[in-house]
Copies of this chain bind each other. A is one copy, B any other.
Amino acid sequence: MRGAVIHAPGDVRFEERPDPTIVKPTDAVIRTIAACVCGSDLWRYRGVAEVPHPTPIGHEYVGVVEEIGSEVRSVHPGDFVVGGFLTSDNSCPHCQAGQHANCQHGGGYDGCQAERIRIPLADGTLLATPEQPDPDLIPSLLALSDVMCTGWHAAVCAGVRPGSTVVVVGDGAVGLSGVLAASHMGAARLIAVSRHADRQAIARDFGATDIVAERGDAGVRHVMELTDGIGADAVLECVGTEDSVSQALASARPGAMVGWVGVPHITELPQNHMFWKNVGLRGGPAPVRAYLPELLQLVWERRIEPGKVFDLELPLAQVADAYAAMDERRATKVLLRP
């Protein structure tokens, strides 16, 4: 089969790779229906993270089960399945507490931008749809494998409630998904921080009531103007830089939480916006499997359409073009089909 392999910064190739097979009795092998490129994949593409040797890449997918190991019980050949960007056993103490991203036996995987994928811990990682989905649902189901669950996690960690005033810092696919999550949770005032007209439009479509185009101190001032000097009840940080974390913390009202899902490119936090203001920070990689049942149901009932974050679709064989389009910001998020 063929799949994407990153050889060096800027060098992603679609090439022959070994067909995946059942290695452990808890494995499944799926045939990919759709995959996509994550903002975090761009770190290696841009040379921010190292590429020590050619590495299969990608961690977002939906597909149809082709083969299962002898111990797999919950998914069956022919099932259409969604899985998260981390594997989980759905049974360890951390999973039982809803913290599937920190499963004692789970881990990450690469190589999902491929025609076939081996999924370890299939029972605890995959969720099957009730039946084969209508084609128009595919993008939204695919969005559940990472960005929608990650935006949802930000909103959960920030404690968004009906009536909340919410700020979302970041207008990438995760930030936009955070807007959709906060809107679904009942945010009354929903301020999206975005400088790009196309992304502002998606944010408004997802429920944003206000747009703040400024960053940094100017962005904080604008939020304060919009909130009578009080600040937001909940803030979603969906970027991960020191500037964006600072902006998120400074936009929060005393006692508020910042939900933090932008993978941090910082080693230390600017706590001066935290302690004296009683602003908290909580987040990390999303426990996708914990959120999948509820969110898959919402997609299935067409109550949310997170797939709108995809603004470009390409054949999987053109995966290199997908990276280039996202790197050059010609696309927010690219959907790939084999």
Within 8 A of B (CB), among A224-283: 228, 230, 253-255, 257, 260, 263-264, 266-272, 274-283
Which residues of B are found within 8 Å of A281, using beta-carbon distances? Answer: 274, 280-282
Minimum Cβ distance to chain B for residue A174 (Å) = 14
Contact B253 A94 (CB under 8 A): yes
Taking each of A230, A255, A277, A278, which has the highest tally of chain B beta carbons within 10 Å of its own beta carbon? Answer: A278
The distance in angstroms between the C-alpha atoms of A253 and B99, with both chains bound, is 9
Q: Does A98 contact B (CB under 8 A)?
A: yes
A215 to B245, CA, bound (A): 30
Main secondary structure of the interface of A (DSSP, over half): mixed
Contact between chains at A254 and B101 (CB < 8 Å): yes
A29, B248: Cα distance in complex, Å: 41
* Set B228, B257, B264, B272: member contacting A271, Cβ < 8 A: B264
- List of B residues within 8 angstroms of A267 by Cβ: 271-272
**Bound complex: CA of A274 vs CA of B281, how far in Å?**
9
Question: What CA separation (Å) do A228 and B92 show in the bound complex?
Answer: 12
Which residues from B are CB-within-8-Å of A254? 94, 97, 99, 101-102, 284
State which of B269, B278, B287 has its C-beta within 8 Å of the C-beta of A269. Answer: B269
- Taking a contact as CB atoms under 8 Å apart, the answer to whether B272 and A283 are in contact is no
A280 touching B280, Cβ below 8 Å: yes
A98 to chain B: closest CB distance in Å?
A: 7
CB distance from A227 to the nearest CB of B (A): 10
Given contacts A275-B263, A277-B284, A283-B280, contact A255 B93 (CB under 8 A): no
CB contact between A268 and one of B271, B277, B278 (< 8 Å): that residue: B271
In the bound assembly, the distance between CA atoms of A128 and B267 in angstroms comes to: 47
A285 at interface (Cβ–Cβ under 8 A)? yes
For residues 30 through 58 of chain A, which have their beta carbon under 8 Å from a beta carbon of chain B? Answer: none
Q: Is A309 an interface residue (CB 8 A)?
A: no
Nearest CB of chain B from residue A160's CB, rounded to whole Å = 15
A230–B260 Cα distance when bound, in Å, is: 23
A298 to B66: give the CA distance in the assembly, Å: 62
Q: How far, in whole Å, are A230 and B283 apart by their CA atoms in the complex?
A: 18
Contacts of A260 in B (CB 8 A): 275
Which of B101, B274, B284 makes the CB contact (< 8 A) with A284? B274
Smallest CB gap from A270: residue in B? B268
Known: A269-B269, A270-B268. A257 touches B275 (CB 8 A): no
Contact (Cβ within 8 A) B278 A280: no
Using known A-B contacts A94-B255, A102-B255, A255-B98, determine if residue A278 contacts B285 with beta carbons closer than 8 Å.
Answer: yes
A94-B255, A271-B266, A272-B267 are known contacts. Are A278 and B230 too (CB-CB below 8 A)? no
15 more A-B residue pairs beyond the given contacts A93-B230, A275-B283, A279-B284, with a C-beta to C-beta distance below 8 A: A93-B253, A94-B253, A94-B254, A97-B255, A99-B255, A102-B277, A157-B280, A257-B280, A260-B275, A269-B274, A276-B285, A278-B283, A279-B282, A281-B281, A281-B282
Q: Which A residues fall within an 8 A CB radius of B?
A: 93-94, 97-99, 101-102, 157, 228, 230, 253-255, 257, 260, 263-264, 266-272, 274-285, 287
